[in-house]
Each structure stands twice: as C-alpha cells, then as structure tokens.
Structure 1
Amino acid sequence: MDTDVGIDYGTFEEGRHVNYWELDQTLQRELRRGYTDDEFDWAESRLSAFGETVGHTIADNADDIDNHSPELEPYDKYGEVQNWVRYPEAQYENERLTYEQGIVADSFEAPPGRDEPMPLSHNLAMQYLLSYADPGFDCPVAMTAGAALVLEKFGREDDVLCEYYDALTSRDYEDLIEGAMFLTEKQGGSDVGANETRAEWDESAGYWRLSGEKWFCSNIDAEGTLALARTENAPAGTAGLSMFLVPHADPDGVSRDDSDDADGNGPYTKGQRREDGPLAPAETNDQFYRRLKDKLGTISVPTGEVEFTGAKAYLVGEEEAGFRQMAEMLNLERLSNAAASCGIIGRVLLESKIYAANREAFGETIDQYPLMRADLVDMAVTHEAATTYTFEAARLLSKRERAERAGETADDAYRLMRLLIPIAKARTARMAVDTASYGMEIHGGNGYVNEFVTNRLLRDAQVLPIWEGTENILSLDVLRALEREEAHEPLQAAISERLEYVSHPALADAAATVESEFHDLLGALATLAGEDTEYAQLSAKRLAHYVFDVFTAALLLERAQRDLDEDENGRLALVATRFVSRELADRDARGITSGDRFPIEQFDSVVRYTPVEPESITDAVAADD
C-alpha cells in the first residue's frame, strides 16, 4: 500500500482478509498522538499483528458464530442444575487469539518487552479493532477489563480477590477468566437504586449469600461477575448497595491442582471449562441461569436472566460503597462502547469504500458519482470525528489511572473525562447505528441479506445506544458532571488551548466559527447553571450534542494544525473544515446555493487518505465555505 497516493479500495473484494490496523490511518494517528514514543514503537507491530488476525480468522469466525450462537443447557440429563453454556468452536478460537495477544493483560501488567503496563487506551484500541469483526465478543472483553479495573482499585488487599484479578488479567488462555457486570433488574432498569437483590453473611459457609434476580446479564457464565446487592439494614437507593464478586462455579466446589491456595480452590478458568465441559451439579454456585435472551444482534455474547438462590459471593471493598465502585467500571465500559462504535463505523466505511470502488452502474463505478462521493466523504468525516473524540477521552482516562497507580492525582483530567465519557458513549453509539444503516443501503438488496456483513453490523450496532446507559441517562450524567465536578472549567481550558494553537490561514474561518460557537456554548452552560432542574434536564441532550460538536471541532483543528506543521499534510485540515461546516456553520438555503463541490474535488484525500500539499488547501477550504 503506497501511502503517498492513498488507498486504492478497488484492489479489495470486500472488507475482510485484510489488515484492519494497516487500513485505518485514523486510528494510527490518534494512537501516535496519545502514546509516548516508546509506547507507540512497542505497540505498532503488535497492533498490526492483531489487525491481521482480526481481519482474517476472527472476522470469518464472527460470521459463523452469528449463525451458530451459544446455547444454554440449564439442566443435566438427570434434571440437576448445571448452568452450562455451549459455545461454537469458533468462539473458543476467537477468545484464545484475542486474550493471548494481550487485549486485557497489557494494560494491567507489564507485557513482555516493557517495564510497566500500557495505558488503558491500548486496551480500547484493541477493542476498536476487534469490533471491526465482532462487537458482540467485544462485550465480554470490555467487562473483563472493567472487572479487572475494579479489583485493582478495591480488591488488591484481599488474597482471594487478588487471585481473581490475576485470572482476569492472564495472558494464558488456560488460566484466564472473563468478567461480567450484572446491574439490571426487571423492576429497576436504569434506576439502579431500585435493585432488590439481597446479600446476607453465612457464618457457617464463610461467604456472603446473594438472593434475587438479575434481568439482563451479558456474558452470563463469566467467572468474574460483579453484582450489586443490599446488605441487611442498608439504606434504600444507591447509597445502600454493596459490590460482590459472584463466581460462576461454587468457589469451594472446583479444585485446581495448580493453585497456590492451601485448599486447592480458585477461579474456574477458561481452560478448565474448555477442557472439562459442564460443571457437576455439586460444583455449580447457588444460582440458576433461567434462559438466554433471543436478541436482535450481538449473538456471540450470551445474555440471559439469572436467579441468585443463595449464591456464594465475595464482598469487594467496603459495604455500601458498591455504586461508587461500579461507577469506576462504567467509565471504562462506556469508553469501550464508544470504541466499539468507532470500530463498527470503521468497518462499515471500509465495506462501503470497497463496494463503491468495485460496483459498476451506468458505465462507471459508483464512487465516481457525486452523490456517492458526498456520502463517502461524510461517512469518513464522521469516522474521524468519532475516533478523535473517543481517544481523547481515552487519553484522559489513561492519564488519571496512571496517576492513581503512582499514588498521585490528576484532578483536571478526571473532571474533564467525567464530562466527555458519557457524551462519547451517547454520540458515537448513534453515529454507529446511522452509519451502519446507510452502509447497508449502499450495498442495496445485498446489504439486507444475512450473508453480507452489513446486515450483522447494523444488528450489532443497534444495542450500543442501550448498553451502559441510554442517551437520556447519559445526558443527565452530563449535568451531574457539570454540577458536582465543575467540569466546565477544564472543558473551557481544553477548548481554548486547542483553538489558540490553530494558526494556518486555511483554518482561520473554521476556527472563527468554532470560537463563536464556543462562546455560545459557554453562554448555554451559564444559562443552565441558573435554571431550575426541570429546564436543565429538558436541555441536557442538546447540551451533550453541543459539547461534542464544539470539542470535536477544536480537536480536529488542533490535529490539522499539527499535521500541517509536522507532516506537511493538509488532509486533516480538509476533514476539520468539513466537520465544522457540516455541524456548526450556518448555511444559507441549506448550502444548495453555495457552489460547494468539496466532496467531488476532495474525495481522494478524505476517503482514500491521499496526502494533501499544505499550499493547496486554502482554495479547497474556501470552496467548502
């Protein structure tokens, strides 16, 4: 692939059996910006190897798994509870390939060749690439990382929980366990404080016992499941919730010959499950997997209903601190959701570019027609915007977590990420659905058929606005971040700093537009701060979208300026100005009278990553304006 002339998508037949890392120059740019030089030097070859694996074996397996989904066998032939989930062989292969390449481990324990772990943004980058092939499988991966983060923060002083942490972060598939997060209850939904699951201490067993029902349990048979429950005499609402780790297997029922424990017990690992099959009834924890949900998409992750019937559990951290602890996991889970959204957008865009470069109609490939060029340009700009915003939020999360590991603080990074993360999840999820829907349309009737991947990508994307909080819930969280963390202060500083960096004449008009909208955004924030709660909530979703647009525009302009300064490449300047024109600028007659030919004239640079000489961009930007 000659990067000097861009990517010729007509040389590919479809968006598989390719290297997703090598074709995604947007992700490459963001990681090069967000990593230190030595981190990127270490990671580049590994991300390329993972992109190759995902683009070939995992992508092929994902389609097979979608047709041969996990199946639940709740009872054995004698009618005893065994809670066995039967996976297709392709799923086991995908798991091994993914976990053994360090998708979770590398961000928690120093990988080979390094003295310290990679930032959490590395985990998110690998999730992004994985979601090119299977966003459903990315759910267990994300929750494994999330559970490891919680145990790292709140469980490292407990020897037993340390053993579970070690298994969650294992690079050896045989010793690995996966994580899960059981929050939702039928009567509560997003109202976590309405949870009714109870926890009682069983002195004779030496465990907490959970009783209750969880209604939407993804990765239902995970060994490292975190769940919230209320202990005796705990107050109502979220303040009374405690966090527990609930193993899939009875922690006293499954022996491990290689365990260092005196009693020989420990987590029931993926290796044991793959090798030994179902647990004996006496080895199951006291819970019942009632059924798997018949879902629209994300077929590769089994999601079901669980009844805790006195399930043995370990308390994580302090009693009645569960909701605060779960919030730490949610920060990572929401960014995982955003990374998955970006991965879906990237795959749909790739499939669309390839199809348009090969499909002939009326004597031309369809990527030669103005309307298709406009569509592909705007899809590419959407991909750039979503990825840039998401990995800036990921950089802040990584900065905060590294500071905590070092016993330091990063208050401004924390306050800003608390605002950016719910917005990242909300906005990119909707972008993924819209992009996947239009990608199906580009493929015509084939796109609607199960044999073509666009069908599955749309089905998988549709859950992303729901997982980890709906857009309404996330918008209310934005208000909380502004009120409790005073997140407007680091937001103002971050946008100002980026706009001050922009100096190229070709970016001047776009920067002026963003500056004006930034001023209006600050006015909106001040207005809502003085309004009653009802009006603030009424405006919360509009505010979240506004923050995304202004902050993303500032990020893209700043990165465009750096590309001009450091690489003498004006491509991102074109992307940035297109985003500003599309999302923030006032356009008379909806742009019809403007004479704008940007998608036709700049198609190769925006869609095919063709480099752009800096001196040529002023006229191109002026035409777009």
Structure 2
Amino acid sequence: MTDASRVAPNQAPPLTPYDVVTTDVALVEAVTRHASAEVARGLAPLGELAGSPEAREHGLRANENGPVLVPFDRYGNRVDEVRFHPSWHWLMERGVGFGLGAAPWTADEPHAHVRRAAGFFAWSQTEPGHGCPLSMTYAAVPALRVDDAVAKEWAPRLASTVYDFGLRPAGEKLGSLAGMGMTEKQGGSDVRANLTEARPTDVHGEYTLHGHKWFTSAPMNDVFLVLAQAPEGLTCFLVPRVLADGTRNRLDVVRLKDKLGNRSNASSELELRGTWAQRLGDEGRGVRTIIEMVAATRLDCVLGSASLMRKALSEASWHVAHRGAFGSRLVDKPLMQNVVADLAVESEAATALAMRLAAAVDAVEDPDRPATERAHERALRRIALPLAKFWVCKRTPTMVAEALECLGGNGYVEESGMPLLFRESPLNSIWEGSGNVNALDVLRALSREPEVLDAWITEVGRAQGADPRLDRAITTTLETLADSVAAESQARRLAVQMAVCLQGALLVQHASAEVADAFCASRLGGEYAGTLGTLPTGLDLPAIVARATPAVDRDGRFDG
C-alpha cells in the first residue's frame, strides 16, 4: 500500500519516455515538406530512443563524468589519450549508428541531408556535447573533395555507421571520425595570422607541421583538417591521428579546456612537433579549401541551437501543463500562456530555417535538379548560413533562460537538465565564427557575390502578399541594403533584419496560422518589447501552446 505522504504533490511527471520526433509537430512538418512523410516516419526509432529514460540518464552521466587526459602511460611513454565515461560511448555509438556522421555524402537516397539534419536535431536533445565530433565528421567530406584520391580513401570511413573508438590505423577500423584544427592563440578567428609552419618533406605532397592549435575538439578522432603556413601561404592539411604503419602521429595534447558548457566533449590544446601531414588542395589556398567544412559545421551550429531551443521548450511546456498555482494549472494562466507561446514561436522559427538550409544542401548535391535551381539553392545557402548562424545561435541563450524560468526553482537544479541546456546555449554563437564574424560574412557575401541577394529576394518573395507586416519588413530591409550594405557598424542590424524576414517567409507559407500570425505581430510588427512573453493581444495563444507541447499520455499531479 502506497504511503501518500511519501509522494510529493503538484509535481510534473518526468518528460520521459516520449518520441522526440513524432511529438514535435514543427519538425515533422518540415521533414515532410522538404523530404517526405516516409522519411519522417523512418526517424521514429531515433526519436523513441532519444526520449527514453536510458538516453536521459546517459546524457546526464556523460556531463557529470567528463573526459580525462592521460598524457603518459605507466612506463612514462607519451600516449596523449583521452578517456571518456561509458555514457559518452553509448551516445556516440548510437549517434554514428543513426547515420549522423558523414553518411549523407555517400547515400543514394534523395533527401539524405534533410533526414540527417532532423536526426541530428532530435538526437542532440539527449546530450549536446557529443554532437561536436559527429558534426566535424559530417563536415569534413565536402572539404576532402578538393582531392579525389583523398576523398575516395576517407569519405567511406567517415560515412560508416559503425563507431569504432581507439587509436589504431584508420585502414584497420570499421569507421572513422574527423576533427579540425584552425585557430591559434594569437589569432582566433583571424586564421591568416596563424604561425604554425608546414615544412615540405622529400615526398611530394607530404609535410611536417610545427606549432600549436589553441582549440581542437575531440583529439581522439582519427583524422583532422589543419591549417598551417606553407611556403606559398596558408594551406590546408590532412593529419591522421595514427599513421598507416601503426605509429602514432606526433600530436601532443597539452591540456583539455575547462569550459562553461560542452563539458562531455574533450576540447584540447595541441602542440605539433614534426607532425606528419598530407597537403589538401594547393598551397596558399587553405581557407578556400576548408571553407566547405566551415559551412557544414555552421549548419550544425544552427541545428544544434534549434535543438537546444526545442528541448528547453518541451521541458517548459510540459512542466506548466502539469504544475498548478493559485487554483489552476500554470498553462491556463494568461501570462504563462504568453511566455510559452512566445518560446514556441521562437523555436519553430529556428526549426523551419534550419531545416530549409538542410534542404538546400540536398538540392545542391542533386545532379538531377535543373541547373538554375541548384544555382539558387547554392546562393541561398551562401547567404542564409551566416544569417541563421548569427541570429538563431544568438537567440538561444535568451530563449533557454526563459524556458528554465518556467520551471522556477526546479529548473535551476541540475537534476532537471535545464542548467546543462543553459550552459550549452552560448556555445554555437561562438563556434565557427562568433556573432561579428558571421555578420561581417553577410556583408562580404553581399558585396562580392551579387547572386546571393537575388537568392534572398527570391526566397522571401515566395511569401509576398501573405502578410502585410512581412511585406513591409522586406521593403524596409531592402532599403537598409541600399543605404548601408558596406557599413560595418550596421552589420548586425542588417543580419537580424534579413534573418527574421527569412523566418517570417517560411512561417507564413508553412506553419500554422496562429504561429505565423504571432511571429509577424511580434518580430515584424514593431510590437516586440525586448523580452519573451510579450506577444500582443488578439493572438490564439492556447493553440500555439498546444501545438508545441509534447503529446504524451501522462496523468498530471496537480491536486487543485
């Protein structure tokens, strides 16, 4: 017989188990729109596991028990290994197994990148840190294509759905993971200030590297793309962790970074002391070679931030639906409805834009598409990636903090998982170019590649006439472009305007009428009050909240 005094009243039940994919209406609609209902249904096993108690526990454990650097073995030999908690390996094995690494680049299916993006979005909600090696592995392949022989050797390894951890020659493993080493102490995002030297050997295309890398994540990965100064300038190199003969390449792991978030993932400082490297692309063309990897990782930054938003929204909406105060459920309080509805609008706008970018990758990679369509998608991706990277990632900390507050004190304790999300929330705005870097990249694209503005105008033009507030916002943005396209001090303002117009155009075409109306009224209608939870009157807030709340068969414990 249960002792009622031992059961805490008025507590929301845990949001688990649930299907992270099928309970997310906005995600399912986006996948169906850009791929098919069949692709969306095929993600159900991933979604079910992502929302399981087992996955939740592994996510928490991987962060509570972070990676440990082992520089020497017991005999004093330099080994430079990183040890991970078993929960990290559990998450990685399944992430790789679901094809969230480089699998889309070798897949025959027409919507491989949309499928992978949706899977990455959903699976990252288990624990965001292990998304880093998955993302770098995905992103490496387009850069490797600059050399057909290198791509032929490494792409199948990176596309494998087998997680094979450990330092062994890549040719002896069932699957490989990739990383990247770009930044250095003195330059950061200014990679042209790199000092690491690449010295040619007697063998054509082979070099030794001498210098350091300030931020190299996942140092146990099998291969890295690294920038260094060759005789003809900054060049990209392929650096295997273990050489073909079984010898460990000289990558000295100086220390692991003690970071605000992303604590499950090992981010390291490396010293390169005669490290063997193979040139990738021509000397002096390093940035141009690695830029495709940067573009793909930026897409995952957008997906990762949108994933954090969705996870935070799910926890907040679930909590207020089951928690009571002052005589009724929190979700029935008008002001709380406003807050959760605003969170839902922000999340859905991020999801829609992220998935549209993934669809652009599929289109560019599809040789059967008309050339004009592929050109549009390529130009759109060029301008929309830095726009989305700037705006979606910049909005994430504010959004996650507001969602945490919906849980009150319960959201401030580690057991809720919300502090983990909050610590993670600034990450993607810093990785792969901070806010200023991406805003300035927008100006660079507009000034050097006129087709990108045409692509943006075409994309937002598809929603012309659907909402007068959107039409006015597009007109205002075009006026801003005409006046200050080269004004560096206004780069952030322009990036916000262009990104929000893109989100608005997607929502008025594809989201529910309630969500689109709320977005246009608040983000485009001039009524934004500087904080979430300030949607104007006259909107259907209950419908927005219902659309966003995971539909899980649970009994609440509110005793009012």
TM-score, normalisation: structure 1: 0.80
Choose which of 545, 548, 559 in structure 1 pairs with 2:510: 559
Map 1:568-579 onto structure 2 (within 5 A).
572-579=512-519
1:154 aligns with 146
1:242 aligns with 235
**Letter matched to residue 576 of structure 1:** A
Choose which of 32, 46, 51 in structure 2 pairs with 1:50: 46
Residue deviations 1:374-402, cap 9 Å, x none? 00000000111111112112222221233
Residues 422 and 474 of structure 1 are in contact (CA less than 8 Å); yes or no, is this contact kept in structure 2? yes
**Letter matched to residue 46 of structure 1:** G
- What stretches of structure 2 of length at least 5 have no aligned partner? 1-9, 165-173, 552-560
2:168 aligns with none
Deviation at 1:352, TM superposition (A): 0.5
Choose which of 139, 158, 164 in structure 2 pairs with 1:168: 158
1:596 aligns with 2:552: no
- Given the superposition, is the C-alpha separation of residues 94 and 189 from structure 1 closer, same or farther in structure 2, using an over 3 Å criterion? same
- Given the superposition, is the C-alpha separation of residues 453 and 492 from structure 1 closer, same or farther in structure 2, using an over 3 Å criterion? same
Q: Which moved more, 1:416-425 or 1:442-451?
A: 442-451
2:171 aligns with none
Query: How many residue pairs were aligned?
Result: 530
Residues 337 and 545 of structure 2 are in contact (CA less than 8 Å); yes or no, is this contact kept in structure 1? no
Residue deviations 1:83-118, cap 9 Å, x none? 1111111111211112112223541223xxxx4464
1:293 aligns with 257
Residue deviations 1:535-584, cap 9 Å, x none? x1011000000001122112111114xxxxxxxxxxx1110011010011
**Letter matched to residue 520 of structure 1:** T
Residues 370 and 599 of structure 1 are in contact (CA less than 8 Å); yes or no, is this contact kept in structure 2? no
1:26 aligns with 26
Counterpart CA distance in 1 for 2:179 and 2:147 is: 16
Residues 415 and 481 of structure 1 are in contact (CA less than 8 Å); yes or no, is this contact kept in structure 2? no
Map 1:69-84 onto structure 2 (within 5 A).
69-84=66-81
Deviation at 1:372, TM superposition (A): 0.8
**Letter matched to residue 137 of structure 1:** H
More helix by share: 1
Counterpart CA distance in 2 for 1:517 and 1:117 is: 35
**Letter matched to residue 449 of structure 1:** V
Choose which of 376, 384, 396 in structure 2 pairs with 1:412: 376
- Given the superposition, is the C-alpha separation of residues 464 and 315 from structure 1 closer, same or farther in structure 2, using an over 3 Å criterion? same
- Given the superposition, is the C-alpha separation of residues 593 and 543 from structure 1 closer, same or farther in structure 2, using an over 3 Å criterion? closer
Counterpart CA distance in 2 for 1:462 and 1:75 is: 34
1:187 aligns with 186
% identical aligned pairs: 29
Choose which of 440, 444, 459 in structure 2 pairs with 1:476: 440
TM-score, normalisation: structure 2: 0.89
Q: Which moved more, 1:195-204 or 1:396-405?
A: 396-405
Counterpart CA distance in 1 for 2:138 and 2:192 is: 24
**Letter matched to residue 510 of structure 2:** R
Deviation at 1:603, TM superposition (A): 5.0
2:126 aligns with 133
Residue deviations 1:52-103, cap 9 Å, x none? 1222233321100111111110111222210111111111121111211222
- Given the superposition, is the C-alpha separation of residues 604 and 11 from structure 1 closer, same or farther in structure 2, using an over 3 Å criterion? farther
Deviation at 1:403, TM superposition (A): 3.9
Residue deviations 1:125-163, cap 9 Å, x none? 211112211111111111000112222x223224xx533
1:99 aligns with 96
Partner of 1:141: helix, strand, or coil? helix
1:203 aligns with 202
Counterpart CA distance in 1 for 2:123 and 2:366 is: 24
- Given the superposition, is the C-alpha separation of residues 44 and 602 from structure 1 closer, same or farther in structure 2, using an over 3 Å criterion? closer
1:259 aligns with none
Deviation at 1:193, TM superposition (A): 0.7
2:326 aligns with 362
Residues 111 and 362 of structure 2 are in contact (CA less than 8 Å); yes or no, is this contact kept in structure 1? no
- What stretches of structure 1 of length at least 5 have no aligned partner? 1-9, 235-239, 255-282, 503-510, 561-571, 611-625
- Given the superposition, is the C-alpha separation of residues 558 and 82 from structure 1 closer, same or farther in structure 2, using an over 3 Å criterion? same
Residues 413 and 419 of structure 2 are in contact (CA less than 8 Å); yes or no, is this contact kept in structure 1? yes
Residues 390 and 438 of structure 2 are in contact (CA less than 8 Å); yes or no, is this contact kept in structure 1? yes
Residue deviations 1:222-252, cap 9 Å, x none? 11211111112x2xxxxx2211111112x14
Counterpart CA distance in 1 for 2:534 and 2:263 is: 47
2:280 aligns with 316
Map 1:410-559 onto structure 2 (within 5 A).
410-486=374-450, 487-500=452-465, 502=466, 511-529=467-485, 533=486, 536-559=487-510
1:227 aligns with 2:241: no
Choose which of 526, 538, 542 in structure 2 pairs with 1:586: 526
Residues 109 and 116 of structure 1 are in contact (CA less than 8 Å); yes or no, is this contact kept in structure 2? no
1:305 aligns with 2:269: yes
Counterpart CA distance in 2 for 1:434 and 1:588 is: 14
Choose which of 248, 256, 268 in structure 2 pairs with 1:284: 248
Q: CA RMSD in A?
A: 2.7
1:121 aligns with 114
Counterpart CA distance in 2 for 1:522 and 1:425 is: 21
Deviation at 1:598, TM superposition (A): 2.7
Residues 147 and 224 of structure 1 are in contact (CA less than 8 Å); yes or no, is this contact kept in structure 2? no
1:86 aligns with 2:26: no
